[in-house]
A and B are shown apart, each in its own frame.
Chain A
Amino acid sequence: MAEPALAVRRLRKSFGALVVTADLDLDVATGECHAVIGPNGAGKTTLLDQLAGELVPDGGRIVFAARDVTRLGPDARARLGMARSFQIPTLIADLTAEDNVALAVQARTATAMRFWRSAYRDSTLRLPARAALARVGLAARGSVAAGDLAHGEQRLLEVALALAREPTLLLLDEPMAGLGHDESRAMIALLSSIKGTLTILLVEHDMEAVAHLADRVTVLVAGRAVASGSYDAVRADPVVRSAYLGGDA
C-alpha cells in the first residue's frame, strides 16, 4: 500500500474540560477526496485547524509528505504543499481579487523577499493569477476588491487562492457554506474538475456535495471517528444514523 498523503495518529485536543479531538486516527490516501462529516460541534474545524497548523494538538502525531509536521506552523506546512480554504472567507479585503491570487502565486514561486521590482506589473505573478481566477469563474472580477465581492464569489476566490498555491494536499473547510443553489452547483462542478489531480480533505455539511465528491467519508462525533468508508456504507451505518438523528440506535 502506498504511503498515505496525510496520516493522523492518536490526535488529542481539549479546550478545558471539553474534548474536541479524542485519540483520532485518520489516513488520507494520495489522490483521494476524503470527506469529514459530522454534526455541529463534532470538532471538524478544530481538526482542520490542527492539520493546517493553526492549533497545536495536546498529543498525537500528524505526518504529511513523509514528515512529522505536528510541531510546524501553518506557513511551514504550506511550504511543504498544504493549502487550505477557510470556513469564514479569510481574504485580504482591501486588495483586489487578482492581487489576492497573485500573492498566492508569489508564495508558491519564492518566499524570498524582493524589495524593488513592482509586484503589480510582474507577468510571472499576474498571468498565473488570472489563469487561477478564470479557472474558478472569476475572470471578470479580478479588479474588484476582495472585500466587495459577493459571498459566493469570496468562496470561489478562497478556492482560487488555494489552487494558485499548487498544493499536493488541499484542506477545504465547508466550501459550500452559505451558497445558493446555483452557486453550490458551480462549486461542486469546480471541485469535481480538480478532483484526482491532488489529494483533498473536505470538511462539509452539504450531503449532496459529499455524495458527489467524496471517495471516502469519515464521520466525526464528539471528536471521535465513529465510522469510515464509502458514502453509501457510512450512510447505512446505524451508529452514524443515531448520531445524526439524535435518537437511540
Chain B
Amino acid sequence: MLALPAAAGVLHQPFWINACTRIVIFALVAASLDLIVGYGGLVSFGHAAYFAVGGYTVAVLAQHGIDAAPVAWVVAVALSALLAVVVGALSLRTSGIFFIMITLAFAQMVFFALIAIKAWGGNDGLPLGARATLLGLDLRDPTVLYFVCLTLLVAFVACAAQLVESRFGIVLRGIRGSERRVLALGFPTFRYKLVAFVIAGAGAGLAGALWADYARFVSPDMASWSRSGEFLVMVILGGIGTLAGAVYGAALLLGLESVLSGLTEHWMLPLGLILLAIVLFAKRGVYGWIAGRDDG
C-alpha cells in the first residue's frame, strides 16, 4: 500500500493515488464495521449512516467557512459517535434479524433526512469549497491526502487490533459466542456492545470526513442502504473478524468494480459470481487465503 502510490507519485499518475485513497477510506469503514460484526457478532446494516454524518459534517462546516481539517474531523467523529449512541441504545436491545432491520431503518431515516434538507443541497448533494488544510498541509494535493488517510487507517487498525485482544475485546468475543454465558458471569453486556458500536460508528464517521475532503462533494447516496451493503460485502470478502482483512476486502471490491465495469455494462453479474466463489471457498475471506491459515 505504501509502495504503489510512491511509484505512482514519481510517475505523476494521480489516477492511481486517487484509486488508492478510495481504497484506504473504504478500508477504514470496513475495519470499523468488522469490529462489531466480526468480534461482537453485531451485523449492522446501517453503517453508511455514520459515514454520511461524518461527510456531511465536514461539508456543512466548510459551507460555514470552517475548513481546518482537525476541527472538522473531530466534530465529524463526535457527531457520528453521538448518532451511534442513539441508534445503539435503541437497537442493541434486540438481536439477529431485528437488529439488522433496526440499524437499516435508522440509516434510511438519515438517508431521507439528507434528501429533505434543501439547505444542504437535498438530492443534489453539497460540494465543498476549494480550500482544505490540515495543520499547514494542503489536503487538495492527492498525495498528501493519501498519506493522511493511510496514517489514520493504520492507526485505527492498530488500535482496534489492540482493543480486540484486551479485556474489553475478550468480553466482546464472549458476547458473540454466547451472550447468555457472559451475562451469567456478571458482565453488563449491553454496555459493552454499546461502546463497541459507538467506536465503530466513530470510525465510519472519520472515514466519511476523509471522503468529503477526497471527493470535495457529499450526497445522500453516502447513507444509502446499498452503501451499507457494500461495506458488509467488503468485511465478508476480506475475512470476518480479521480487521486487516478489511483492507483486502475494500481493495478487492473497488478493484473488481472498476475492472469489470470497464469490460461490460453488465458488470454486476460477473462481480456477483466472483463474490459467491470467494464466500463459498475462502472461509476467512481473502485475508485467510493470503495469511494461509484457516484457523477460524
Docked complex: A119-163 residues within 8 A CB-CB of B: 119-120, 122, 125, 161
List residues of chain A with CB within 8 A of the CB of B185. 75, 78, 83, 103-104, 107, 161, 165
Question: Given the interface contacts A74-B183, A75-B183, A111-B186, does A116 sit within 8 Å of B173 by beta carbon?
Answer: no
Contact B170 A73 (CB under 8 A): no
Select from chain A the residue with minimum beta-carbon distance to B170.
A119
**Chain A proximity of B198: nearest CB distance (Å):** 12
- Which partner residue on chain A sits nearest B185 by CB separation? A107
Contact of B182 among A54, A103, A114 (CB under 8 A): A103
With a CB–CB cut-off of 8 A, which chain B residues contact A83?
Answer: 184-185
B178 sits at the interface (CB 8 A): yes
Q: Does A113 contact B (CB under 8 A)?
A: yes
Q: Is the CB of A119 within 8 A of B169?
A: yes
From B7-15, B187-195, B256-264, give the one contacting chain A.
Answer: B187-195
Say whether A79 contacts B178, CB under 8 Å: no
Contact yes or no, B180 A113, CB < 8 A: no
Q: Does B270 make an interface contact (CB < 8 A)?
A: no
Task: Write out, one digit per residue, whether chain A residues 93-123 have a CB within 8 A of any chain B CB (1) or not (0).
Answer: 1110001001110111001011111111010
Pick from B71-79, B159-167, B221-229, B282-290 the stretch touching chain A. B159-167
> What residues of chain A lie closer than 8 Å to B70, measured between beta carbons?
none
Indicate if the CB atoms of B166 and A90 lie closer than 8 Å: no
Instruction: Kindly state whether residue A92 has any CB partner on chain B within 8 Å.
Output: yes
Task: Name the distance in Å between A44's Cβ and chain B's nearest Cβ.
Answer: 17
Known: A114-B168, A120-B165. A78 touches B184 (CB 8 A): yes
B174 touches A75 (CB 8 A): no
B177 within 8 A of A: yes
A169 at the interface (CB under 8 A from B): no
Minimum CB–CB distance for A236 against chain B, Å: 36
Q: Which of B165, B180, B182, B184 contacts A119 (CB 8 A)?
A: B165
Which of B165, B167, B170, B181 contacts A91 (CB under 8 A)?
Answer: B181
B183 touches A92 (CB 8 A): no
Interface size for A (C-beta < 8 A) is: 37
Complexed CA–CA distance, A120 and B165 (Å): 7
- A190 nearest CB across to chain B (Å): 20
Chain A residue contacts of B167, Cβ below 8 A: 106, 113-115, 117, 119, 122, 125
Does any Cβ of A come within 8 Å of B171's Cβ? yes
Given known A75-B187, A107-B186, contact A115–B173 (CB-CB < 8 A): no
**Chain B interface residue bracket vs A:** 20 to 34
- Docked-complex contact B183 and A115, CB < 8 angstroms: no
Chain A residues lying within 8 Å of B195, measured Cβ to Cβ, are 113
Within 8 A of B (CB), among A24-78: 52, 54, 73-76, 78
Q: Give complex CA distance A78, B185 in Å.
A: 6
Residue of B168, B174, B191 near A115 (CB, 8 A) is B168
For B170, the chain A residues whose CB sits under 8 A away are 95, 99, 102-103, 106, 119-120
List of A residues within 8 angstroms of B182 by Cβ:
92, 103
Q: Is A216 an interface residue (CB 8 A)?
A: no
The answer on a CB contact under 8 Å between A94 and B177 is yes
Bound Cα distance from A161 to B185, whole angstroms: 8
Contact B177 A75 (CB under 8 A): no
Q: Which residues of A contact B162 (CB under 8 A)?
A: 115-116, 118
- Residue in A78, A99, A113, A125 whose beta carbon sits within 8 Å of that of B186 in the complex: A78
> Which of B180, B186, B189 has the most C-beta atoms of chain A within 10 angstroms of its own C-beta?
B186
Q: Does A84 contact B (CB under 8 A)?
A: yes
- For A52, A116, A125, A161, the residue with the greatest tally of chain B CB atoms inside 10 Å of its CB is A116
CB <8 Å contact, B184 and A84: yes
> Bound state CA distance, A208 and B191, in angstroms?
43
A95 in contact with B183 given A115-B168, A116-B162, A117-B166 (CB within 8 Å): no
Contacts of B169 in A (CB 8 A): 115, 119
Q: B-side interface residues toward A, CB under 8 Å?
A: 162-163, 165-171, 173-174, 177-178, 180-189, 191-192, 195, 296
Give me 12 other A-B pairs in contact (C-beta within 8 A), A94-B173, A119-B167 excluded. Answer: A75-B188, A79-B186, A83-B184, A91-B181, A92-B174, A95-B174, A107-B185, A111-B188, A113-B168, A115-B162, A115-B163, A117-B166
Report the 6 A-B pairs with minimum CB-CB distance, sorted nearest first. Answer: A78-B186, A92-B177, A107-B185, A114-B167, A107-B186, A119-B167
Q: What are 26 A-B residue pairs whose CB atoms fall within 8 Å in the complex? A: A75-B185, A75-B189, A78-B183, A78-B185, A90-B180, A90-B181, A90-B184, A92-B173, A92-B177, A92-B182, A95-B174, A95-B177, A99-B170, A111-B186, A111-B187, A113-B191, A115-B163, A115-B169, A116-B162, A116-B163, A117-B167, A119-B165, A119-B166, A119-B167, A119-B169, A165-B186
